[in-house]
Amino acid sequence: MTKRSWAEPFKIKMVEPLHMTTRADREKTIAEAGYNTFLLKSRDVYIDLLTDSGTSAMSDRQWAGMFLGDEAYAGSENFYRLEETVREVYGYKHLIPTHQGRGAEHLLSKLCIKPGDTIPGNMYFTTTRAHQELAGGRFVDVIIDEAHDPQSEHPFKGNVDLGKLSTLIESVGAKSIPYFTMHATVNMAGGQPISMANARQVAGLCRKHGIKIFLDATRAVENCYFIRQREPAYADKSLADILRELCSYTDGCTMSGKKDCLVNIGGFLAVNDDDLADGARNMVVLYEGLHTYGGLAGRDMEAMAIGIRESIELDHMHARIGQVEYLGHLLQKAEIPAVRPIGGHGVFLDAARFLPHIPREEFPAQALAAALYVDSGVRAMERGAVSAGRDTQTGKNRFPKLELVRLTIPRRVYTQAHMDVTAESVCELYANRHRIAGLRFTHEPRHLRFFQARFEPVQGDRIIRDER
């Protein structure tokens, strides 16, 4: 490490003015949005840390690429450019573009899962599990226990517990496991990476039993940056080489291009198996579009192809994760309860410890996200019991160990000063945490309820109560 601080490897060419609001405006707005930050209008938000999905700033090269869109229905130039890029960078043989990540998850789940099947993985992801369940499968989490402990400093909290995986294979039989879902990084654990050593061992075990592995490659390059930093054998390797090795342990991937790939829309399914690729090409025409565009315009595929190459630049990834760490360190210094170590795409506040007076049944993370918006116009996202939904068998609320609020950093969008303002607001709320009220549902949707649910404060009519 050098003694100097780092700075972004880009300069800003165009700016988008933000709409400034008052606290009184925000109290009204959040009540109208049912205390769900997903239901806020973007114009009412000051610093938008809801998600890093599709919110990145594209480079001038990507924008220039948009003008090279070959908007042919079939066989556009941009498809072939994207196919070549995915083959070269990720190393998979067949590319099936989709409108975004869940489109790819849908195809893969429908093609591979039979009712009654079990799909293990290193922690669930909302859309991934939903598609596995819709196909009749059951997701089983086999991540290491440290992943569920926000205090653990384990450097690879995304690792798979090989003991749990072996036991599961023995108990259900390899034949009822169509594939293993490998997340890199693990979003729901706080953007935590899986190590190369662990990925290799998982591949060894799965291959011994004839079980395929599909990578959720959404933030795989961010994962590779952590491997380079934390696994000594990789300290001098390029992100490109590390990524190729990681992918080599898997049989294909689902990808949300809206994260690592630096685009506002797009995704893909990539597989090595010829028959599976054939099946996916057959199915993609039903749900997404022809196999050479999969719901994307030619220009979108071009921007994604360029974004993929930018994503594996070390300077880019250093600045991306460096900014997340900058915010994380400000909060750590103030002793704010948050997931450790700091993850790749955001800082995850530990709402259960932040608001110990609010029982889990009153959704402390949902309440904290709403309170943060009222305090400063910063929009965050709940990642706890509301996101976890209900058990498909019992219909009861799931209460995962982690009850988090995610401050997600879009790539190349905000400055260090925006991070400072965010940290100040979180600290202010922490000092006044006893004033934050719990929430109850007034409307609960059936699928992925966190997106459209509505709430009201359990007592009173404000999320931040007056000092008594």
Q: Which residues are catalytic?
A: 73, 125-126, 216, 259, 383, 450
Could you tell me if 268 and 81 are in contact, meaning their C-beta atoms sit under 8 angstroms apart?
no
Q: Residue 265 CB, nearest distance to ligand PLP (Å)? A: 8
Cβ neighbours of residue 149 closer than 8 Å, sequence gap 6 or more: 401
Amino acid at 466: D
Amino acid at 148: H
387 binds ligand PLP (CB under 6 A): no
Per CB under 6 A, the list member of 81, 94, 102, 299 interacting with ligand PLP is 102
Region of 141 on the Ramachandran plot (φ > 0 left; ψ -120 to 50 alpha; else beta)? beta
Separation in Å, CA 325 to CA 98, 215, 261: 32, 25, 20
Per CB under 6 A, the list member of 53, 192, 366, 387 interacting with ligand PLP is 53
How many residues bind ligand PLP (CB under 6 A)? The answer is 15
Q: Residue 128 CB, nearest distance to ligand PLP (Å)? A: 5
Q: Residue 96 CB, nearest distance to ligand PLP (Å)? A: 15
Stretch that binds ligand PLP, among 123-131, 153-161, 228-236, 453-461 (CB under 6 A): 123-131
Q: Which of residues 326-355 bind ligand PLP (CB under 6 A)?
A: none
Return phi, psi of residue 301, to 5°.
-65, -35
CB nearer to ligand PLP: pick between 100 and 250: 100
Separation in Å, CA 215 to CA 103, 194, 249, 269, 420: 15, 11, 9, 10, 35
Stretch that binds ligand PLP, among 18-26, 120-128, 364-372, 429-437 (CB under 6 A): 120-128
| Helix-helix angle 314-333:220-230, to 10 degrees | 80
Return phi, psi of residue 457, to 5°.
-65, 145
Beta bridge pairs of residue 407:
347
Separation in Å, CA 42 to CA 30, 46, 346: 12, 8, 19
Per CB under 6 A, the list member of 76, 198, 218, 425 interacting with ligand PLP is 218
250 binds ligand PLP (CB under 6 A): no
CB nearer to ligand PLP: pick between 94 and 102: 102
Q: Which of residues 175-194 bind ligand PLP (CB under 6 A)?
A: 183, 187
CB nearer to ligand PLP: pick between 317 and 355: 317
Say how many residues make up the chain: 468
CA 44 to chain centroid, in Å, comes to: 24
Q: Which of residues 127-166 bind ligand PLP (CB under 6 A)?
A: 127-128
Q: Which of residues 256-285 bind ligand PLP (CB under 6 A)?
A: 256, 258-259, 267
Stretch that binds ligand PLP, among 81-89, 97-105, 273-281, 331-339 (CB under 6 A): 97-105
Per CB under 6 A, the list member of 34, 65, 69, 101 interacting with ligand PLP is 101
CB nearer to ligand PLP: pick between 108 and 277: 108
| Nearest residue to the partner ligand PLP, using Cβ | 101
29 binds ligand PLP (CB under 6 A): no
CB nearer to ligand PLP: pick between 222 and 403: 222
Q: Residue 53 CB, nearest distance to ligand PLP (Å)? A: 5
CB nearer to ligand PLP: pick between 221 and 464: 221
Binding site for ligand PLP (CB under 6 A): 53, 100-102, 125, 127-128, 183, 187, 216, 218, 256, 258-259, 267
